[in-house]
């Protein structure tokens, strides 16, 4: 039977059962947004302070567009886990270079390129969108029964919008907090490197299809992240003690 061009309209209708799905997806996106916010905050901190808000919020509009594209092609995301491995490897490299091989302090008035920063922000927004999009597929019971668009596409897009806005808000707060406590920058890059390790490990675990190992990976990632955050909290307390 050929696809019905009008069938996709039926698949996008609102149902009362969509409300709890959207609520659950919202809280799920809040959890997944934390690590992305840390990375974006580190990129934006090295932009001219006058352009930092521009770097954050210029990416919002393009993120909506990129998320929509990612949603439409989400069924193929499991086939491009090498993107996770590449992004994770770069984060590890960035953390190691910054912590162990720091560059000379930049001269006043010398900042990273705005376009370069926006590029990296959008790249990692797509990378971190993979897990949230796939989770949304599961929550919304997504399938492709003779339709042009995925079933309940709007549910996933609402979740994606929550994620984008949350990431921008958290990034700004994290960036300001680190500016007030410069000692935390090293801890922040430890966390960036730890996130990179998680992405690389997740890529290999998914490739070799070890679902049990994926659960342990998530547990150790959040445990390690909590330890790093605790160290950062102790560092701030000692400074004010």
pLDDT of residue 139: 53
Do you know the residue count of the chain?
241
pLDDT of residue 41: 79
pLDDT of residue 10: 55
pLDDT of residue 13: 63
Specify which residues 223 forms β-bridges with. Answer: none
pLDDT of residue 231: 82
Cβ contacts of residue 111 below 8 Å, gap of 6+? 46, 47, 48, 51
pLDDT of residue 57: 76
What's the rounded mean pLDDT across residues 130-150? 51
pLDDT of residue 229: 79
pLDDT tens sequence across 175-217: 777 777 777 777 777 887 887 888 788 778 877 777 677 778 7
Lowest mean pLDDT among 94-108, 111-125, 147-161, 166-180: 147-161
DSSP string, the chain: -PPPTTHHHHHT---TTHHHHHHHHHHHHHHHHHHHHHHHHHHHTTB-GGGHHHHHHHHHHHHHHHHHHHHHTGGGGGGGTHHHHHHHHHHHHHHHHHHHSPPPPPPTT--B-HHHHHHHHHHHHHHHHHHHHHHHHHHTT---SS-SS-TTHHHHHHHHHHHHHHHHHHHHHHHHHHHH-TTHHHHHHHHHHHHHHHHHHHHHHHHTT-HHHHHHHHHHHHHHHHHHHHHHHHHHHHHH-
Cβ contacts of residue 53 below 8 Å, gap of 6+? 172
pLDDT of residue 17: 66
Cβ contacts of residue 142 below 8 Å, gap of 6+? 74, 136, 150, 151, 152, 156
**Using 50, 70 and 90 to split pLDDT, how confident is the model at 140?**
low
Select from 115, 136, 127 the least CA-distant residue to 59: 115
Select from 132, 106, 122 the least CA-distant residue to 47: 106
pLDDT tens sequence across 21-75: 677 666 666 666 666 777 777 788 778 878 888 877 776 666 667 666 766 665 5
Q: Which two tokens stand for residue 23?
A: 């609520």
Residue spans of the domains in the chain: they are: 7-240
**Using 50, 70 and 90 to split pLDDT, how confident is the model at 144?**
very low
Lowest mean pLDDT among 14-18, 60-64, 76-80, 156-160: 76-80
What's the rounded mean pLDDT across residues 228-241? 72
The larger pLDDT score, comparing residue 63 to residue 9, is at 63
Q: Is the Cα dihedral 100, 232, 31, 40 positive or negative?
A: negative
Question: What span, in angstroms and rounded, lies between the C-alpha atoms of 110 and 184?
Answer: 22
pLDDT tens sequence across 88-118: 888 788 788 877 876 655 444 456 777 888 8
């Amino acid at each position: 039977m050929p696809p019905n061009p009008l069938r996709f309209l039926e698949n996008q209708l609102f149902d009362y059962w969509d409300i709890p799905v959207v609520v659950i997806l919202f809280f799920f996106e809040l959890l997944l947004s934390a690590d992305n916010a840390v990375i974006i905050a580190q990129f934006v901190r090295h932009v001219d302070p006058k352009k930092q808000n521009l770097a954050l919020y210029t990416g919002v509009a393009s993120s909506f567009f990129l998320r929509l594209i990612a949603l439409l092609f989400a069924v193929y995301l499991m086939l491009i886990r090498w993107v996770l491995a590449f992004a994770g490897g770069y984060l590890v490299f960035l953390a190691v270079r910054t912590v162990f091989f720091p560059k000379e302090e930049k001269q006043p008035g010398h900042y990273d390129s705005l376009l370069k920063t926006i590029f990296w922000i959008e790249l990692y927004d797509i990378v971190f969108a993979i897990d949230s999009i796939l989770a949304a597929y599961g929550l919304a019971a997504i399938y492709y029964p003779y339709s042009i668009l995925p079933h309940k596409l709007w549910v996933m897009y609402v979740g994606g919008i929550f994620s984008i806005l949350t990431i921008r808000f958290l990034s700004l707060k994290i960036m300001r907090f680190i500016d007030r406590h410069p000692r935390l920058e090293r801890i922040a890059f430890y966390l960036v490197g730890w996130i990179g390790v998680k992405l690389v490990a997740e890529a290999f675990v998914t490739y070799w299809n070890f679902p049990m190992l994926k659960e342990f990976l998530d547990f150790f990632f959040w445990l390690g992240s909590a330890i790093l955050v605790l160290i950062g909290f102790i560092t701030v307390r000692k400074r004010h003690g």
